[in-house]
Amino acid sequence: MWHEERLFINGELREASNGATFENINPATEEVIGVSADASEADFGEALAAARDAFDESEWSTNLELRLRCLGQLHEALENHVDELTAITVAEVGATQMACSSIQVVEPLKIIPFYMDVAKGYEWSTDLGVTETLGGQCQRWFEKEPVGVLAAITPWNVPTQVNLAKIIPALAAGCCVVLKPAPDTPWTGLALGKLIAENTDFPPGVVNVISAADPAAGSYLTNDHRVDMISFTGSTATGRKVMEAASANITKVFLELGGKSALIALDDVDDFAMVAATAAFGMATVCGQGCALSTRILLPRSRYDEAVDAIAAMMAAVPPGDPTDSATMMGPLINASQRDRVERYVQSAIDEGARIVCGGTRPDDLEHGFFYEPTLIADVENSMKVGQEEIFGPVLVAIPFDDDDEAAMIANDSIYGLSGAVFSGDEQRALKVAKQIRTGTMSVNGGVWYGADVPFGGFKQSGIGREMGIAGFEEHLETKAYSKPV
Ligand code: NAD
């Protein structure tokens, strides 16, 4: 299988300095598909030194034309390797072919031309005119500059999407980056190093990609004074550690964290088919391992049984299966410990008095792989563990409500605020509820908010900052004001 297992440091593809490697496991077969370089602390240090030098010494931060040329070359290389990227994404993430043709591989590539256009058209300098200030006449203006060296730390669930959403706006803005993908999905990250090395004019050190077996090896980046900004996507628990480490050098943090989003179906929906399809197919796309998925399904008490039946029927239509089969709609969980975690949550729901409507077990027909049946849990109270905590597996919880205000109140009763959805026969009524939810994105009656131009991020403990869109570009800029006497 086409892949890269070497680190990409200072423009070179190379082994870890101590020669160490770690295994890459296919979650659908439990087989070892190969290895990746296991970077040492010294390798992290070299990657940071290279990024620092590239930012401080090369023309990358000031030469927009060079940046656009290199990003265009990377985009072309990625477009030419969609099949190879799909193959490694299926193998190391357990992603389905369908997911690869959308959110896992194909859609994220659009991030590159989007940010090339943004950088090209951006107002890098803004004139504030001449004014009388503190007794003198001065001409004032401000300029935007890249933040500097970016440490990008990413999770395993949609790795190409997150890797590109992290590094592309930063590179377009003029930053230099060290990307550390998650240990479960190193190849999708290291492939970027390979494609850059073999197809582009990126100056050495502008992009570095570094894999390591120890998940916490990312801390070599978060507490280093050479880093100007940490861009982290992962769990809220790790986000807290990242923020704590960043405090040592007051390093800027940009955090995309967990979610426990609510889909609200109001009592005037025609039927629950659309609601059920949105809930079940969304969950299936990444086997429930999506930060922005609606995993709490809030249903009107007056039609609760009808809605639960519709959702259960739709979930039965997405059984887990072999992700190499193009008809499969849901693959496995990423690893055994993630499956154990899901099982613990399902047991906690049973212990707290909730009812398993469907699923709740591993599939009988799949001997290998970290598969789990799509699971719907009913009679859930929002205060239960499964109502409050991110499960990150194919598990939806159905919570009843009595009126629109109570639905909004339940949706907001969460430490998270990443996404959500509202369905109603009356669009205005749906919008009224959507506006009450403290969350970064909302879908109204099935609207799809995902896209390179749409700012994405969280309220509350779902994060700090916005990825994608113009906002995602400006996260990587500093503002410097100037004045001169006239
Ligand atoms: P995680 O927090 O365990 O790990 C994320 C990354 O951080 C990995 O690369 C890991 O190696 C690294 N890491 C772990 N400990 C670290 C430390 N002490 N210092 C620095 N880096 C460290 O998350 P995960 O299990 O890989 O991914 C699942 C989580 O990611 C879920 O909570 C999900 O909601 C979240 N997520 C959020 C978004 C978003 O955009 N908001 C997108 C995808 C995933």
Encode pLDDT of 215-268 as tens digits.
999 999 999 999 999 999 999 999 999 999 999 999 999 999 999 999 999 999
Q: Crossing angle, helix 186-199 and helix 159-173, to 10 degrees?
A: 40
In the reported structure, the alpha carbon of residue 182 is separated from the centroid of ligand 1 by a whole-number distance in angstroms of 8
Which residue's alpha carbon is nearest to atom 9 within ligand 1?
182
Q: From 348, 405, 403, 408, select the one nearest 380 (Cα to Cα).
A: 348
310, 272 Cβ separation under 8 angstroms: yes
* Rounded Cα distance, 420 and 260, in Å: 9
Task: Name the residue with the closest Cα to ligand 1, atom 23.
Answer: 234
Report the run of H or E that residue 137 belongs to, with start and end. Answer: strand 136-146
Count CB neighbours of 271 within 10 A: 11
Out of 231, 235, 283, 390, mutate this one to test ligand 1's pocket (max ligand atoms within 8 Å of CB): namely 235
Domain boundaries, the chain: 7-257+463-485, 261-451
Residue with tokens 């993630």: 338
- At residue 136, the pLDDT reads 87
159 Cα to the center of ligand 1, angstroms: 11
**Cα(197)–Cα(205) distance, integer angstroms:** 11
Which atom number of ligand 1 is nearest to the Cα of residue 334?
25
Look at residue 457 and tell me whether its pLDDT is greater than 90. yes
- Beta partners for 484? 139
pLDDT band of residue 450 (cuts 50, 70, 90) is very high
Does the pLDDT at position 133 exceed 90? no
Give the mean model confidence (pLDDT) for residues 276-293.
97
Strand partners, 467: 456
Residue 75 structure tokens: 């985009």
Mean pLDDT of 460-473: 98
Output the DSSP codes for 402-453: SSHHHHHHHHHSSSEES-EEEE-SSHHHHHHHHHHS-SS--EETT----STT
Residue 99: count other Cβ atoms within 10 Å of its Cβ: 27
203 sits in which H/E element:
none
Q: Nearest 5 degrees, angle CA 273-CA 277-CA 283?
A: 150
Distance between CA atoms of 8 and 205, rounded to whole angstroms?
A: 9
**Is residue 4 very low, low, confident or very high in pLDDT (cuts 50, 70, 90)?**
very high
What mean pLDDT do residues 2-16 have? 98
C-alpha 16 – ligand 1 centre gap (Å): 23
With DSSP H G I counted as helix, E B as strand and the rest as coil, what are the percentages for the chain, rounded to 5? 40, 25, 35
Kindly give the distance from the C-alpha atom of residue 426 to the centroid of ligand 1, in angstroms, as a whole number: 38
The answer to whether residue 65 scores a pLDDT higher than 90 is yes
Pairing mode of beta strands 229-233, 149-153: parallel
* Catalytic residue (choose from 4, 107, 256, 467): 256
Q: How wide is the angle at C-alpha 461 spanned by C-alphas 250 and 479, nearest 5°?
A: 40
Count other Cβ atoms within 10 Å, centred on residue 275.
Answer: 26
Q: What is the pTM of this model?
A: 0.98
Neighbouring C-beta atoms of residue 74, cutoff 10 Å = 24
The mean of the pLDDT values for the chain is 98
29 vs 80, 298, 318, CA distance in Å?
Answer: 28, 35, 19
Write phi, then psi, for 125 (nearest 5 degrees).
-130, 135
- The whole-angstrom separation of Cα 209 and Cα 157 is 18
Would the pLDDT of 212 be above 90? Answer: yes
Q: CA-CA distance, 71 to 175, in Å (whole number)?
A: 13
- How much is the pLDDT for 265? 98
Q: Which fold has domain 7-257+463-485?
A: Aldehyde Dehydrogenase; Chain A, domain 1 (3.40.605)
Q: Which secondary-structure segment (H or E) carries 485?
A: strand 477-485
Question: Strand (E) positions, 214-271?
Answer: 229-233, 252-256, 261-265
Give residue 257's pLDDT. Answer: 98
Residues 6+ apart with CB under 8 A from 252: 147, 228, 229, 230, 246
d(CA 31, CA 175): 38
Q: What is the pLDDT of residue 357?
A: 98
CATH 3.40.50.1000, applies to 261-451: no
Compute φ and ψ for 422, nearest 5 degrees. Answer: -135, 135
Cα–Cα distance for residue pair 387/370, rounded to 1 Å: 24
Domains 7-257+463-485 and 261-451 share a fold: no
Strands 294-300 and 261-265: parallel
Give me the percent of the chain exceeding a pLDDT of 90: 99
Query: Which of 70, 291, 358, 475 is an active site residue?
Result: 291
Q: Does the annotation count 291 as an active-site position?
A: yes
Q: Pocket around ligand 1: residues whose beta carbon is below 6 Å from it?
A: 153-157, 162, 180, 182-183, 215-216, 218-219, 222, 233-235, 238, 241-242, 256-259, 291, 390, 392, 418, 458, 463
Pocket test for ligand 1, best of 291, 459, 466 (most atoms within 8 A of CB): 291
CA 155–ligand 1 middle distance (angstroms): 5
> Which region, left, alpha or beta, applies to residue 131 given φ > 0 means left and ψ of -120 to 50 means alpha?
beta
Tokens of 71: 């990003």
The arithmetic mean of pLDDT across residues 167-193, rounded, is: 98
Contacts of 364 (CB under 8 A, 6+ apart): none
The answer to whether the CB of 93 falls within 8 A of the CB of 104 is yes
- Per-residue confidence at 134, pLDDT binned at 50, 70, 90? confident
Please state the rounded mean pLDDT for residues 318-323: 98
What is the rounded average pLDDT of the residues 363-385?
A: 98
Separation of 288 CA from ligand 1 center, angstroms? 15
